[in-house]
Amino acid sequence: MMDFDFELLLTLLVGVFGVGYALDVWLWKPARIKVLELAITRAGGELPEAQQVELMRESMFAEYSRSFFPVLAFVLVLRSFFMEPYQIPSGSMLPTLTVGDFIVVNKFEYGVRLPVLGTKVLDYNEPKAGDVMVFKYPKNPAIKYIKRVVAVPGDTLELRDKVIYINGQQMAQTYVADASPTTEIYLEQLGDVEHLIWRNKNPGKNGSITIPPGQYFTMGDNRDGSNDSRYWGFVPEANITGKAVAVWLHWDSFFSLPNFSTAGSID
């Protein structure tokens, strides 16, 4: 779960500084040049350099706009259409992702979307079972979640004592080891992806559901410690942010040093 809407703040800042930048280029700077030229003419063609600099001095807003707009616009384009970093705040994706992992999200894997609005302007790939996906939490779109896609539109999903069946086909789970006295590690085959999951030793609930058009069913790899589609429902296609592809850094807290202990691609 990631609950700070940095994209919205960044978009607002780009808009504000973009207006300032445009006003300075098209209005304020030409006005300063005219004032300077008039002053030079009145001075007989010569004007002290210090006075020229003073006449050409832009306002603080114009100066900040000129300095910040290109940088913020570049960051917005990069984050909105290509790659975006996130930090993992909870253990719902253990053992795949740990608290403090910084991950890279591929924003164009599932099509190009407009920042903040999320409107898709270029459509090519769709999420598939096994993908680790970042999306806006359906109950509160200001919050972003990261889970694994389990079933896609049209699939019939069945859970039998914590084992997944897609369209009647069992997704194999192979016991690996005990993570604790109450938790076991399994290797799960989900679609084309093989990954580790945690599940406790208590019996699981059974149930079956068909995924509606434009909706996705997601679950955390920490199967008994994840708030996911089993509790709040489907993820609408419009809420998708991108595909998590790699861990690039791990940082436990402000008082610890970053490290690369978990760096690597995400299964």
Catalytic residue among 65, 80, 90, 92: 92
Q: Are 148 and 157 in contact (CB under 8 A)?
A: no
Close Cβ partners of 55 (under 8 Å, ≥ 6 residues apart): 32, 35, 36, 39
Q: What pTM did the predictor assign?
A: 0.81
Q: Are 233 and 138 in contact (CB under 8 A)?
A: yes
| Range scoring the smallest mean pLDDT among 12-21, 116-125, 232-241 | 116-125
Local structure of residue 59 (DSSP, 8 states): P
**Is 92 known to be catalytic?**
yes
Model confidence pLDDT, tens digit, residues 28-40 = 999 999 999 998 8
| Measured distance CA(186)–CA(92) in Å, rounded | 15
**pLDDT band per the 50, 70, 90 thresholds, residue 3:** very low
Catalytic residue among 107, 136, 147, 243: 147
Model confidence pLDDT, tens digit, residues 203-222 = 888 999 999 999 999 999 99
Report the greatest alpha carbon distance in the chain.
93
Across residues 111-134, what is the average pLDDT?
86
Close Cβ partners of 148 (under 8 Å, ≥ 6 residues apart): 93, 96, 130, 131, 132, 133, 190, 195, 218, 219, 220, 221
Q: Where are the domains of the chain?
A: 6-80, 83-265
How is 91-118 classified by DSSP, letter by letter? STTTTTS-TTEEEEEESSTT-EE-TTT-
| Measured distance CA(111)–CA(242) in Å, rounded | 9
Question: Into which CATH architecture does domain 83-265 fall?
Answer: Ribbon (2.10)
Positive/negative CA dihedral, 177, 179, 181, 184: negative
| Secondary structure element (H or E) that encloses residue 39, with its range | helix 29-42
More confident position, 220 or 255 = 220
